[in-house]
């Protein structure tokens, strides 16, 4: 069998980068641990086929295994880090892949707009700064989203409310991706401990990514929080701790975006006028049902506006969180709906339009969405029906 002739040092580097033990790899590749160890020392060489499988499992392009030394991997993440002053030592491989995947989609979409003469700058990107008035920014976001009494009324449920807002944001030209996994791999779930969302600001093709593994309540809040980022024109990775929204976040930008998000979802004036001090917390929460926001958001608001004590907040918050965590996730669903939701409907339909017009190859389009060509065609049919 012909040997691949890879650089043994690269095997070790890639394995450690992927956070895998020799034993994990041995199991995944169905090969003896000694053999893989020998690849790493250079005593043995894998076959081409084995090298291919190895690269696949280590999530690196095959050529990486032949390089003389590890490649620089700093590109977009370095920028994000400087923009966000939180000292995050390292990002997980999963996160990096999601970020790169999103950047590719954003780049494609920007070029698509340019090629079709639709690339006009969105007026709201970077319209304000963190020094701006919270209320003013919040009103502007509401206006762009068309978030008014009517929209709230038309939402059939809280999750429907979120999807309606997402739809409005996409119509305004913002790509919104909501996914709880890396690419289409259900075995690689994203953790909310690492991030709840991120935003890639851009004048013509802004992109918001929401970690779909989060609770409904948190997703809604993160979504609006990321929009606030765009309104001040800042990219960044966010881990919006719902809890920290009521305390003084050390980061001025994050604090500002949290305040704006709360103001968008439930304006302080409305909140104050509806609240009745002689009612219990639970009774009061019932009075805000038509706002279609979850108890968690209401609790944040109540605390921010000093309607409840810190202890009351902590207590009510804790019971909600455990309830949300215990709730069952139904399995099933239609992949033809899932795919556009994960990759942004705006991007998906633009991509399909581009392939139909012959500007983009089916192969490339399918690769960008991480599906087979056949699947992409089915999704295209599905979307045309509606």
Q: Summarize as ranges the residues that interact with DNA (CB under 7 A).
A: 1, 27-28, 30-31, 35, 47-50, 153, 155-159, 163, 178-181, 183-189, 212-213, 289-290, 292, 327-338, 341-342, 370-372, 375, 378
**212 three-state secondary structure:** coil
Q: How far apart are CA 251 and CA 209, in angstroms?
A: 21
Complex with DNA: residue 96 or 135, whichever CB lies closer: 96
Cα–Cα separations (whole angstroms), residue 278 to 62, 70, 86, 284, 304: 67, 65, 42, 9, 19
- The CB-of-119 to DNA minimum distance in angstroms stands at 27
- The CB-of-212 to DNA minimum distance in angstroms stands at 3
Complex with DNA: residue 56 or 79, whichever CB lies closer: 56
Burial class (CB in 10 A: 0-12, 13-18, 19+), 7: middle
**CA nearest 54: which of 85, 110, 13?**
13
Complex with DNA: residue 10 or 344, whichever CB lies closer: 344
- The CB-of-16 to DNA minimum distance in angstroms stands at 18
- The CB-of-1 to DNA minimum distance in angstroms stands at 5
Residues 235 and 199 sit within 8 Å (Cβ to Cβ): yes
Residues 203 and 121 sit within 8 Å (Cβ to Cβ): yes
Complex with DNA: residue 289 or 306, whichever CB lies closer: 289
Complex with DNA: residue 31 or 37, whichever CB lies closer: 31
- The CB-of-224 to DNA minimum distance in angstroms stands at 16
How does DSSP classify residue 127? -
Neighbours of 375 (CB within 10 A): 16
């Amino acid at each position: 069998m012909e040997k691949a002739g890879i650089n043994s040092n690269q095997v070790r580097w890639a394995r450690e980068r992927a956070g895998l033990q020799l034993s994990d790899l041995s199991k995944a590749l169905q090969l003896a641990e000694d053999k893989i160890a020998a690849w790493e020392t250079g005593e043995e060489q894998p076959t081409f086929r084995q090298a291919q499988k190895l690269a696949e499992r280590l999530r690196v392009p095959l050529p990486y295994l032949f390089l003389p030394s590890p490649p620089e991997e700093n590109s977009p993440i370095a920028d994000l880090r400087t923009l966000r002053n939180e000292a995050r030592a390292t990002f997980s491989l999963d996160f990096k892949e999601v970020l790169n995947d999103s950047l590719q989609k954003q780049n494609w979409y920007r070029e698509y707009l340019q090629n079709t003469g639709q690339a006009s700058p969105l007026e709201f990107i970077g319209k304000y700064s963190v020094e701006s008035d919270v209320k003013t920014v919040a009103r502007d976001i509401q206006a762009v989203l068309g978030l008014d009494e009517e929209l709230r009324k038309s939402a059939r449920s809280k999750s429907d409310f979120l999807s309606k807002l997402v739809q409005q944001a996409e119509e305004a030209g913002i790509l919104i991706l909501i996914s709880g996994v890396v690419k289409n791999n259900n075995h690689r779930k994203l953790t909310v401990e690492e991030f709840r969302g991120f935003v890639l600001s851009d004048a013509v093709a802004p992109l918001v990514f929401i970690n779909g593994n989060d609770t409904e309540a948190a997703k809604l809040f993160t979504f609006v929080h990321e929009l606030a980022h765009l309104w001040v024109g800042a990219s960044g990775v966010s881990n919006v701790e719902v809890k920290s929204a009521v305390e003084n976040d050390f980061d001025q930008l994050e604090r500002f975006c949290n305040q704006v998000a709360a103001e968008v979802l439930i304006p302080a004036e409305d909140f104050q006028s509806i609240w009745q001090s002689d009612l219990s917390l639970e009774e009061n929460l019932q009075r805000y049902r038509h706002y279609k926001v979850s108890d968690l958001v209401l609790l944040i608001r109540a605390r921010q506006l000093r309607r409840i004590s810190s202890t009351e907040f902590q207590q009510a918050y804790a019971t909600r969180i455990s309830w949300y965590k215990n709730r069952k996730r139904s399995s099933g669903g239609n992949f033809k709906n899932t795919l556009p939701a994960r990759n942004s409907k705006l991007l998906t339909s633009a991509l399909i339009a581009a392939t139909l017009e012959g500007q983009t190859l089916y192969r490339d389009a399918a690769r960008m969405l991480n599906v087979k060509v056949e699947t992409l065609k089915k999704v295209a049919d599905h979307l045309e029906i509606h």
